Amino acid sequence: MRLLVSVRSAAEAAAAVTGGADIVDAKEPSRGSLGPVEPAVLRAIADALPGGMPLSVALGDLNDPAAAANALVPLEAVPGRPAELFVKVGLADIGDPVLARAVLGAVVEAARSAPLRPAVVAVAYADHELAAALPRDVVVLLAADAGAHGVLLDTWGKDGRDLFAWASPADIQRWLETARRGGLLTALAGSLSADDIQRASRLEPHIVGVRGAACDGGRSGLVSAVRVRRLAAAIGGSAPADAVA
C-alpha cells in the first residue's frame, strides 16, 4: 500500500517527500474535496518533486462531457512527465448514470490523447447523497466500463466525519473487491486520522490518501514532514510494484 499526501504548495510538496510520502497529490483544500490548484502552483509542486516521484492532480467535479478535455489543460504546466501521473475526477451533482459515464469516457479519451497521458481515477463519494452524486457501487462499475485506471472512495463533505462514518469496513471491503475484479487501482481517503489509516490499511487498498492528518493545524494547516513520517510508518511501507501497475 502506498501513502498519498495532498499538498497545496511547493513547500508542502517538499515536506511530504521528506516525510516519506509515496505519491504527492496537488489539491487546493479551500475549494472542496477535489479543489484544483492554479496552474502556476501545479508547476511549482511538480518542480519540487524528485525524479521518479509519482504525481496526482485533482481536477475537481465535472458534469459536462463536452468540457472534459479542458479539464486536462492545467497539466500543460507540468514540466515533463512524472514516473506516474494520475488525475482525479469527481462526479458531484450528477444523478444520471448515462451522463456520468459520458463524462468519465470523455476524460479517459482526452487523457489517452494528451501529451502526458495521465491515468484517470474516478472518485466515488461515501456520502454521495450530500454530493448529489451516484452511489459508490455505481461509480466503480462506470469507471471500469469507461476505461478508467482506478477509483478512489472519498468523502465529499469535510465536516469532521471520516470515511468510516459513512461506510463500514465490511462495505468498503466489498467495494474494493468489486473494483479489483474490474481491474482497477483502488484508493481510500476521506478525513482519515492516523488510527483510520491503520484501519484502512487492513482493507488492503493500493493507495490511502490524507490531507488533514498530515498537517499541523488540520486540513487547512501546513503539511508536516514529521506527521507524514508517522503516517508512513503506520501503514508499514509501500505496496509491491505489481500491485499498482
Alpha-carbon distance of 46 to 79, in angstroms, equals: 7
Comparing 3 with 243, the larger pLDDT belongs to: 3
Alpha-carbon distance of 227 to 160, in angstroms, equals: 19
Which one from 2, 8, 27, 227 is the annotated catalytic residue?
Answer: 27
Backbone torsion region of residue 132, taken as left when φ is above 0, otherwise alpha when ψ lies between -120 and 50, otherwise beta: left
Contact 55, 26 (CB under 8 A): yes
Comparing 96 with 68, the larger pLDDT belongs to: 96
CATH of the domain at 205: 3.20.20.70
How does pLDDT run across 144-175, given as a tens digit for each residue? 999 999 999 999 998 889 999 999 999 999 99
Contact 133, 152 (CB under 8 A): no
Residue 240: pLDDT over 60: no
Which one from 8, 88, 101, 206 is the annotated catalytic residue?
Answer: 88
Q: How many domains does the chain have?
A: 1
- Over residues 3-9, the mean pLDDT reads 98
Q: Is 158 a catalytic residue?
A: no
- Over residues 98-127, the mean pLDDT reads 96
Boundaries of domain holding 67: 2-243
133-157 exposure pattern, b = at least 16 Cβ within 10 A, e = fewer: bbebebbbbbbbebebbbbbbbbbb
- Over residues 118-132, the mean pLDDT reads 97
Contact 118, 46 (CB under 8 A): no
Q: Is 88 a catalytic residue?
A: yes
